[in-house]
Amino acid sequence: MNGTSRSDIYAGLEVQIVLKEDQRTGNLTKGIVKDLLTKSATHPHGIKVRLESGDVGRVKEIL
């Protein structure tokens, strides 16, 4: 599961996201999903989420 399908992601799920400022480096940030921000069913670069820490980014990996 790579995080491009909204149906695979829900609040409370542990994921790795890439933050906007880390898109060039590809650094991943681990956290727990708080909110789903992408409205469409799928997104080629990953569903955008807000973590409980407040970080916002696109899901790259579901743990």
The residues, any chain, with a CB within 8 Å of residue 42's CB and separated by 6 or more, are 4, 5, 6
Residue 43 located in a structural domain: yes
Question: Domain residues for 58?
Answer: 6-62
Residue 38 located in a structural domain: yes
Distance of CA 38 to the CA centre of its chain: 10
Give the model confidence (pLDDT) of 18-48 as tens digits: 999 999 999 999 999 999 999 999 999 999 9
Residue 1 located in a structural domain: no
Q: Provide the whole-model pTM.
A: 0.92
Number of domains in the chain: 1
* pLDDT > 70: percent of the chain: 100
